Amino acid sequence: MPIKKLSELVDKVKKLPKMRVSVAAGEDPHTIEAVAKGVLEGMIEATLTGHETRIKEVTSEYKIDPSIFEIIDTPDEKTAAVTAVELVNSGQADFLMKGLMGSATYMRAILDKEKGLLPKGKTLSHITVLEVPAYHKLLIGTDVAVLIAPDLAQKIAMIAYAVDIAHRLDVERPKVALLAAVEKVNPKMCATIDAAVLTQMNRRGQIKGCVVDGPLAMDLAVSEESKRIKGVDSEVAGDADVLIFPDIEAGNIFYKAVTHLANAHLAAIVTGAKVPCVLTSRGDDEDSKFYSIALAALMAGKRK
């Protein structure tokens, strides 16, 4: 049966061999709490880079035993990021996580041409798995944080990454909704043209492992009532597993709206690198970071 809650994702990961996370600048309370929870629940092992003194101050404040982590003392966030990436490249860690540092510093370390984690020719993209109380299953959304205005080739990669995650969540044939403001092709709206092309590519077998449809407006993607009222004949409409956003503004606004206004929980990783890379917002809580660790561990385990 498909995984329908993020707690079920955690349960699945706990049954798998432990993966080790390399945390870049693991000094903030939410990150330490989330990583500690993962370690104490037997889900992962962890190495934290960063200011060792500050890490131990936080663990003391939150009554966490620092000996459950390996701690590598680093003088600044850039060194912490580089060291965390080196641990992955040397095989001492299975996936990466951002701690108390700017996303730009974190991404620079991943994208470094000589010492980073991005294979030549690959597309880096951000994927969020959302548990929205008002929806009947998990929603996978992309891209809300990395690709600003994805072109057709990048959208093909985004679909592939999202479908891969859906399969790992035991969704055999994920339904992919290509979102736009309208559900009809409009030559003046690039998102609708890309959606029509991608839909046809899926029908001709060029995009596999899923069913793709678009353009679809947001209401059509997730509402059976909207599908009925608008009379749209679509296998995806009203029952989407994956949402492909036309640009970063649409994706980011949706993601923050459902988390802050609709009590959604989330797991978020960057895909396309050698290993999964946890990338959550500084405003995300401990639970979101914990679920993100679980998702990254699940996808890292697949690579073993």
pLDDT band at 285 (very low <50, low <70, confident <90, very high): confident
pLDDT exceeding 70 applies to what percent of the chain?
Answer: 98
Whether residue 292 is predicted with pLDDT greater than 60 in this model: the reply is yes
What pLDDT was estimated at residue 108?
94
Whether residue 184 is predicted with pLDDT greater than 70 in this model: the reply is yes
pLDDT band at 280 (very low <50, low <70, confident <90, very high): confident
**Relative orientation angle of helices 152-168 and 190-203, to the nearest 10 degrees:** 60
> Per-residue pLDDT averaged across 263-276, rounded?
96
* pTM strictly above 0.85: yes
Whether residue 304 is predicted with pLDDT greater than 60 in this model: the reply is no
Tell me whether strands 125-131 and 139-142 are parallel, antiparallel or unpaired. Answer: antiparallel
Q: Of how many residues is the chain composed?
A: 304
**Helix, strand or coil, per DSSP, at residue 215:** strand
Domain positions in the chain: 6-118+273-303, 125-261
CATH topology of domain 6-118+273-303: Rossmann fold (3.40.50)
pLDDT digits (tens, 9 = 90+) for 198-253: 999 999 999 999 999 999 999 999 999 999 999 999 999 999 999 999 999 999 99
Residue with tokens 């009554």: 63
For the record, the structure tokens of 180 come out as 């736009």
Sheet holding 125-131, edge to edge: 70-73, 44-50, 19-24, 95-98, 277-278, 265-271, 125-131, 139-142, 242-244, 175-179, 211-216
Least confident of 79-88, 146-155, 283-292: 283-292
> Per-residue pLDDT averaged across 51-74, rounded?
96
Cβ atoms of residues 215 and 190 within 8 Å: no
CB neighbour class for 91 (10 Å; exposed up to 12, middle 13-18, buried from 19) = exposed
Whether residue 55 is predicted with pLDDT greater than 80 in this model: the reply is yes
What pLDDT was estimated at residue 246?
97
The chain-wide mean pLDDT, for the chain, equals 95
Range 125-261 classified under CATH 3.40.50.150? no
What pLDDT was estimated at residue 160?
98
> Per-residue pLDDT averaged across 168-177, rounded?
97
pLDDT exceeding 90 applies to what percent of the chain?
Answer: 94
> Per-residue pLDDT averaged across 295-300, rounded?
97
Which residues are CB-neighbours of 7 under 8 A, at least 6 positions away? Answer: none
What pLDDT was estimated at residue 157?
98
What pLDDT was estimated at residue 286?
85
pLDDT band at 166 (very low <50, low <70, confident <90, very high): very high
pLDDT band at 283 (very low <50, low <70, confident <90, very high): low
What pLDDT was estimated at residue 303?
63
Phi-psi region of 63 (alpha: psi -120 to 50; beta: other; left: phi over 0): left
